[in-house]
């Protein structure tokens, strides 16, 4: 049957999805503004060579140069059948050397045998060697008036700029799913093939912008199904996992049911699906879920999109990307996929980390919230009338209190197992014991601070330990010796503050600057003095000088 060849367009009007190209070429033929060389660039199966043939017919039709070739005259028929002596198609991949180009240069001097123009269509022109391109330059710049070159390529970046500048370039774009589906529907009706609309859209989707691939797949499915083509047939031929499986996987993940998530994935592999097919299908499922969530698209994931939050969806997208990377670069991808699916099953535990960090006094961006303009303080009566509440009446909620509230809300919404309930009670009890009042400031020693940081960021801790370190209540100053150390500590500033808050339950401020060696030595000596001696030195205005 060979549907791609049988339904190859024969006029500019039949070329699908490339109106920006066909309209320009038709106007050029109509006005007689013909270029000596054209470059058609674009992905596979979008109509580059077909358009080149139609252009050759428009130039050589017996009616004259026309944007509407008749397809009835002898020359038009010969071009369609590939028999024309004056329209020569050359495969650039197998005729890529300088000898072939030299032979071409010798032949173009001869006038056409029948037609008006001698047209050379060089397919995959990017495969020519550098020497072959150089040999072609002079011919491209000043070709004989009866010669037209049409180059077709899928990789225009490999063509030298000196060649591109001597041609008129047209970029063919991939066809949309709608354009491919409409053309497939037209062909199916002509051939008497019954296709379910959903199956048609799925074929169009997996054609990936190539109409030729879509037609070839339609022909393959027609032979496979031996009857009406259904979605199940498309899934089976292409190795696509049913979307309903991924709906169930993500729903189980939202409920935190790790066992069900892993079992459903294992069932898919047991049915013979490969790792590549699973990861590809999962990524496409997440894409459909995203469209349903943000665009309201009515697809199989629409109901699931109403249950998942935006932050959970973003986390799912990241897991899908990580899963593809694992499948591509690891020797045992099944282990990596199981790991990503376990991550997926913790979607119900996701919190807004930026909010948690802000409550801890750590900001993901260096800027602090903009302070409100100073306003005249209102009297207590006015504040009550206006609905304002003072800090004493309703103090700001701390991080620990927020976490306790979240646990209590979870306990009300979901029935807990005895073990989970006991664990939550222990967390709440520990939070209450460790709770720190809002204005209370913790005092920590140098060794404790360094030991705490060393557990998380040992390399940065080494730099801080060798630097001048001063701790004044909640203010920490680090005096480093050069710009490198300063940049290193500042890059980890937010992490340092978060670690200290998590360990000591105190909001700290961190200042980092370059300090001269002598100043550091003097300050360190002063820090090592006893409190009584410091008090005595302050009273008599004494200072520590360098040892002699």
458-508 pLDDT, tens digit each: 888 888 888 888 887 788 888 888 888 888 888 888 888 888 888 888 888
Q: What's the pLDDT at 69?
A: 93
The answer to whether residue 67 scores a pLDDT higher than 70 is: yes
Q: Where are the beta strands (DSSP E) in 154-307?
A: 168-171
Token code pair at residue 163:
């060649």
Token pair of 227 as six digits = 């009857």
Strands 147-153 and 118-123: parallel
Length of the chain: 548
Structure tokens at 15: 């070329």
Give me the pLDDT at residue 265, please. Answer: 93
For residue 82, the 8-state DSSP code is T
Sequence-ordered list of residues with C-beta below 8 angstroms from that of 475, at least 6 positions apart, any chain = 508, 509, 511
DSSP 13: G
Tokens linked to 33: 């503004």
Residue 149: strand pairing partners: 37, 120
Residue in the block written with tokens 């690891």? 330
| pLDDT the model gives residue 100 | 87
pTM for the complete prediction?
0.61
Which tens digits make up the pLDDT trace of 15-56?
998 999 999 999 999 998 999 999 999 999 999 999 999 999
Task: Please say if the pLDDT value at position 248 is more than 90.
Answer: yes
Distance CA 18, CA 12 (A): 9
According to DSSP, the residues that pair with 118 across neighbouring strands are: 147
The closest of 249, 423, 273, 278 to 342, measured between CA atoms, is 249
Beta bridge partners of 153: 41
Residue 281 contacts residue 312 (beta carbons within 8 Å): no
d(C-alpha 486, C-alpha 463), whole Å: 9
pLDDT tens string 351-374:
555 555 555 555 544 444 444 444
Encode burial over 354-364: b for 16+ CB neighbours within 10 A, e otherwise: eeebebbbbee
The percent of residues above 90 in pLDDT, for the chain, comes to: 40
Of 53, 59, 52, 33, nearest to 114 by C-alpha is 59
The 10s digit of each residue's pLDDT in 448-467 is 888 888 888 888 888 888 88
């Amino acid at each position: 049957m060979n549907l791609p060849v049988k339904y190859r367009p024969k006029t500019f009007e039949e070329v699908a999805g490339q109106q920006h190209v066909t309209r320009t070429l038709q106007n050029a033929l109509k006005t007689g503004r013909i270029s000596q060389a054209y470059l058609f660039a674009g992905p596979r199966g979008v109509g580059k060579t077909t358009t080149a043939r139609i252009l050759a017919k428009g130039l050589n039709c017996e009616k004259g140069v026309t944007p509407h070739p008749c397809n009835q005259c002898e020359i038009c028929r010969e071009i369609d059948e590939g028999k024309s002596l004056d329209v020569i198609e050359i495969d650039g991949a197998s005729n890529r050397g300088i000898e072939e180009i030299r032979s071409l240069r010798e032949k173009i001097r001869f006038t056409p045998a029948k037609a008006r123009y001698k047209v050379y269509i060089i397919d995959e022109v990017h495969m020519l060697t550098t020497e072959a391109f150089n040999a072609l330059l002079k011919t491209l710049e000043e070709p004989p008036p009866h010669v037209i070159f049409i180059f077709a390529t899928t990789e225009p970046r490999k063509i030298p700029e000196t060649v591109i500048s001597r041609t008129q370039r047209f970029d063919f774009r991939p066809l949309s799913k709608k354009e491919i589906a409409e053309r497939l529907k037209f062909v199916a009706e002509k051939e008497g093939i019954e296709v379910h609309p959903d199956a048609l859209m799925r074929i169009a989707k997996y054609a990936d912008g190539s109409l030729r691939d879509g037609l070839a797949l339609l022909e393959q499915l027609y032979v496979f199904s031996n009857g009406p083509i259904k979605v199940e047939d498309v899934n089976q031929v292409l190795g696509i996992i049913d979307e309903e499986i991924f709906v169930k996987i993500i729903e189980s993940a939202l409920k935190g049911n790790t066992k069900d998530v892993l079992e459903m994935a294992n069932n898919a592999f047991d049915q013979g699906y490969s790792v590549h097919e699973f990861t590809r299908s999962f990524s496409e499922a997440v894409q459909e879920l995203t469209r349903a969530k943000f665009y309201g698209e009515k697809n199989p994931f629409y109901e699931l999109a109403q249950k998942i939050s935006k932050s959970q969806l973003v986390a799912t997208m990241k897991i899908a990307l990580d899963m593809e990377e694992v499948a591509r670069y690891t020797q045992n991808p099944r282990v990596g996929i199981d790991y990503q699916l376990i991550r997926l099953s913790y979607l119900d535990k996701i919190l807004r980390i930026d909010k948690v960090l802000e409550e801890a006094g750590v900001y993901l961006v260096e800027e602090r919230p903009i302070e409100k303009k100073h306003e005249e303080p209102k009297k207590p009566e006015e504040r009550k009338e206006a609905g304002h509440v003072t800090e004493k009446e309703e103090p700001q909620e701390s991080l620990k209190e927020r976490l306790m509230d979240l646990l209590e809300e979870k306990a009300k919404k979901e029935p807990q197992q005895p073990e989970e309930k006991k664990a939550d009670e222990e967390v709440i009890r520990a939070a209450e014991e460790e709770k720190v009042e809002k204005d209370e400031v913790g005092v920590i020693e140098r060794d404790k601070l360094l030991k705490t940081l060393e557990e998380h960021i040992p390399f940065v801790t080494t730099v801080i330990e060798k630097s001048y370190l001063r701790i004044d209540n909640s203010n920490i100053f680090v005096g480093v010796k050069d710009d490198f150390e300063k940049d290193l500590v500042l890059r980890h500033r937010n992490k340092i503050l978060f670690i200290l808050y998590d360990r000591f339950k105190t909001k700290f401020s961190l200042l980092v600057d370059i300090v001269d060696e002598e100043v550091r030595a003097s300050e360190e000596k002063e820090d090592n003095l006893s409190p009584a001696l410091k008090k005595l030195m302050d009273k008599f205005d004494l200072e520590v000088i360098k040892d002699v």
